Amino acid sequence: MTSGKEEAGLKGTCTEGASGHLWARRDRGFTILELVIVMTIMSILLTVSIPIYRTLLVRARETVLRENLFKMRDAINRYTYDKNRAPQTLSDLASAKYLREIPIDPITQSRDTWVVRLEDEPVVPSAPRGIVDVFSGAEGIGTDGVPYNEW
């Protein structure tokens, strides 16, 4: 039952309980305890989500690295097959339109850190040695346990 009386110093109405006591009812606002609980829950969620976000970011970069390596290796193979000689530089792949541009290594954030492996013997004995494979120049180990420069 609501008495509808305003008690001195209380904002809102008073409710009479079963035992006959008057209880103040708040109309709005949060207590400090409620705010502390909400802040604690938010802190726990952030503590859990930040490492997950970082892991997902690394995995996304690794996926882009794998795709870039696949595209460059495919372009090297097509160039070698079409021209009957391996490309001398990665720029040859772009200038001959086998790649739109040399991709950025997503781990190092640079186009200049790619490491190339030259062929032991040229396809044509009179041709200079060319590129047969490409690797990332990034230091560090991927999430699969293999160093980036061995991918």
Number of domains in the chain: 1
Residue 79 lies in a domain: yes
* 137 part of a folded domain: yes
Rounded Cα distance between 22 and 40, Å, is 33
C-beta atoms surrounding 90 within 10 Å:
19
Give the range of the structural domain holding residue 126, as residue numbers without chain letter.
68-150
What pLDDT digit, counting tens, does each position of 35-86 carry? 999 999 999 999 999 999 999 999 999 999 999 999 999 999 999 999 989 9
Residue 81: the pLDDT is: 93
User: Against a cut of 0.85, is the pTM above it?
Assistant: no
